[in-house]
Amino acid sequence: MTTAPERTDPTPLAPGAPRSGTTFLGLPTAPRGVGHLRGERPFPDAARDALRDGQLRANLGHATTTIRKKRAAVVGEVPDWEALRQAGKALKTATMARLDEHLVELERRVGERGGTVHWARDAAEANEIVTRLVQATGSDEVVKVKSMATQEIGLNEALEAAGITAHETDLAELIVQLGDDAPSHILVPAIHKNRAEIREIFLRTMPQVDPDLTDEPRRLAMAARAHLRERFLRAKVAISGANFAVAETGTLAVVESEGNGRMCLTLPQTLITVMGIEKLVPTWRDLEVFLQLLPRSSTGERMNPYTSMWTGVTPGDGPQEFHLVLLDNGRTAVLADEVGREALHCIRCSACLNVCPVYERAGGHAYGSVYPGPIGAVLSPQLTGVEDNASLPYASSLCGACYDACPVAIDIPSILVHLRAEHVEAQEKTTPEGAAFTALATAMSHPRLWHLAQRAATLGRFLARGKPTLPAVLPPPASKWTRSRDLPAPPRETFTQQWAREHRR
């Protein structure tokens, strides 16, 4: 199935929010003008700047090398890893096939246990719901657990516009927030900063910080603890995402390391959780698969330090008011694509980022979306409609390392190719690349033309002047191709010429 996006205006679904487009089934993608799914520049332009930043490349190289080794070691010691991976993939496929039924069951179970479920068609609606819920508590500040969903919808900005301060409490999110920066990794949003840079941010922005703070990671972690301790103890409202929700029991799960998640999920009176509709699993037992796959793929640990699970409200223990906001924001448009929907299986471990040669060099900011790396290159364009992130499906060498690393075996390379085809089909004007391939197809289907073309191509040897590759400064439009690729000099003779010469005796 090909889902060439229509460029007609869809029916407005919520007042005020500009829409970007719909899939051919009429399902709206994530709206423009709210949230962080679209970059300001195409990937190649942003990546070119990032590649010039030697510090960034050093930081990313160091961090991804470290985590790749750790992941390989803890995955290697699990004898049934591949069986777990296949179970995870099948579980996600089965969940998507009955997504509506599972969501209704989740809603009922959460309600039975004293929670309230809200539905949000898009980012703007989710932001409105959360803002209203916070305002109803009378609080003008919230503590936040790191959450991709709330990053995606731009919740902090929406709260700020309503006069509510959101304190990020995850160490990396805090670094990004204090540094007035943008996240660049799913798991470690501040991966682009090294310890010395983090120390500098803390010294500059933390009011009570010890001026003798060193860049020793343990000392930096202690500084964050001191900075946030009082905020945790006074917080009335917390906002979290969710790693998993169990439909049959209404149980939510947050997987974390530092204990900031536990602080947020335990101490405030009110807890608001924003969760993409794809994050649920049908049964409690299903978590036995994902709780093995996620930590080893993510931080390279056998198990992350803390996993919190809660079902509605427990009297005398934790928040006494619980709201769950179920977010679409383009997910149903992704679901409509039989090839692309596999991107919804993602459990946000970030293993694909850490193994990707493109991510390792370009970094997360170049992708322009809160979802960078290989999974971002297939997820972001589908959530927004491929024309709003048209360069991302090309931000890959299709080497397949992401597929191998993915704990739920998402075939990212195939989705990338699928989205490239979708982008090409969406073009109304012929591109130079399209014209070249049309000409090539004509030549290849006519032997006489093909031989002529081959002979003509050998003339390219003059351009190469004896070097193995053609110069990178070919005139446009060929320069668009050679700018990022080596074009080998044509051989002296073609394969058929060589064959004929050697065998026709």
Binding to other proteins (CB under 8 A): which residues in 229-268? 229, 232-234, 246, 249-251, 257-260, 262-263, 265-267
Alpha-carbon span 351 to 412, nearest angstrom? 12
Q: How distant is the alpha carbon of residue 8 from its chain centre? A: 27
Task: Pick the closest to residue 353 from 365, 340, 339 (CA basis).
Answer: 365
The distance of closest approach from Cβ of residue 91 to other proteins in the complex, given in angstroms and rounded to an integer, is 5
Closest approach, Cβ 204 to other proteins, in A, equals: 17
Question: How many whole angstroms separate alpha carbon 420 and alpha carbon 397?
Answer: 13
List 24, 306, 450, 481, residue binding other proteins (CB under 8 A): 306
Cα–Cα distance measured from residue 120 to residue 28, given in angstroms and rounded to the nearest whole number: 13
State which residue, 216 or 433, has the beta carbon closest to other proteins.
216
Compute the distance between CA of residue 219 and CA of residue 215 in angstroms, rounded to an integer. 7
Give residue 431's identity as a one-letter amino acid code.
T
Q: At residue 283, what is the residue type? A: T
| Residue 388 makes contact with other proteins by CB under 8 A | no
Q: Pick one of 142, 201, 224, 237: the residue that binds other proteins (CB under 8 A).
A: 224
**Length of the chain as a residue count:** 505
- Does 160 contact other proteins by CB under 8 A? no
398: exposed, middle or buried (Cβ count in 10 Å: 0-12, 13-18, 19+): middle
Residue 331 · residue 380 · CB < 8 Å: no
Estimate the share of the chain in helix, then strand, then coil, as percent rounded to the nearest 5: 50, 10, 35
Cis peptide leading into 488, omega within 30 of 0? no
CB of 427 to other proteins, least distance (A): 25
Q: Interface residues for other proteins in 106-145 (CB under 8 A)? A: 113, 118-121, 125, 129
Task: Tell which one of 40, 212, 317, 502 touches other proteins (CB under 8 A).
Answer: 317
**Contact residue for other proteins among 93, 139, 320, 494 (CB under 8 A):** 93
Residue 203 as a binder of other proteins (CB under 8 A): the answer is no
Which residue of 73, 136, 161, 222 would you call a contact of other proteins, by CB under 8 A?
Answer: 222
Stretch of residues binding other proteins (CB under 8 A), selected from 24-32, 33-41, 48-56, 203-211: 24-32
Distances (CA, A) of 266 to 203, 313, 320, 475: 30, 11, 10, 62
d(CA 299, CA 70): 8
The mark string for 457-476 relative to other proteins (x by CB under 8 A, - otherwise) is --------------------
Instruction: Kindly determine how many residues on this chain lie close enough to bind other proteins according to the rule CB under 8 A.
Output: 107
Site pattern 405..444 for other proteins (x: CB under 8 A): ----------------------------------------
Identity of the residue, 268 or 490, whose beta carbon is nearer to other proteins in the bound complex: 268
Inter-residue contact 64 to 72 (CB < 8 Å): no
User: Rounded to the nearest whole angstrom, what is the least distance from the CB of residue 30 to other proteins in the complex?
Assistant: 13
Sole window of 191-199, 380-388, 449-457, 479-487 interacting with other proteins (rule: CB under 8 A): 191-199
**Cα–Cα distance between 195 and 175 in angstroms, integer?**
11
Choice between 177 and 391, CB closer to other proteins: 177
φ and ψ of 368, to 5 deg: 75, -10
Of 347-366, binders to other proteins (CB under 8 A) are 354
For residue 80, the 8-state DSSP code is T
Contact pattern from residue 37 through residue 66 relative to other proteins, giving x for each residue in contact according to CB under 8 A and a dash for the rest: ----------------------x--xxx-x
Secondary structure (3-state) at 244: strand
Does 12 sit near other proteins (CB under 8 A)?
no
Helices (H), 351-446: 351-355, 357-362, 373-384, 401-405, 412-426, 432-444
Least distance in Å: CB of 491 to other proteins? 45
Give the residue, chosen from 17, 34, 47, 87, that forms a contact with other proteins under the rule CB under 8 A: 87
Strands 237-240 and 141-144: parallel
Nearer to other proteins, 249 or 273 (CB): 249
DSSP-assigned letter for residue 153: H
* 309 near other proteins, rule: CB under 8 A: yes
Q: Which is nearer to other proteins, 249 or 369 (CB)?
A: 249
Answer for which of 105, 152, 168, 170 binds other proteins (CB under 8 A) is: 170
Measured between alpha carbons, how far is residue 117 from residues 128, 315, 330, 458 in Å? 14, 19, 19, 67
Residue list 284-303, contact with other proteins (CB under 8 A): 284-285, 287-289, 291-292, 295, 299-303
Q: Are 364 and 190 in contact (CB under 8 A)?
A: no
Q: In this complex, which beta carbon is closest to other proteins, that of residue 232 or of residue 394?
A: 232
Q: Find how far residue 15's CA is from the centre of its chain.
A: 28
- Helix H or strand E segment including 62: helix 54-76
Q: Which stretch binds other proteins (CB under 8 A): 158-166, 223-231, 400-408, 494-502?
A: 223-231
Pinpoint the alpha helices (H) of 98-147.
99-112, 123-137
Q: Which is nearer to other proteins, 296 or 365 (CB)?
A: 296
Residue in 56, 106, 191, 272 binding other proteins, rule: CB under 8 A: 191
CB of 384 to other proteins, least distance (A): 16
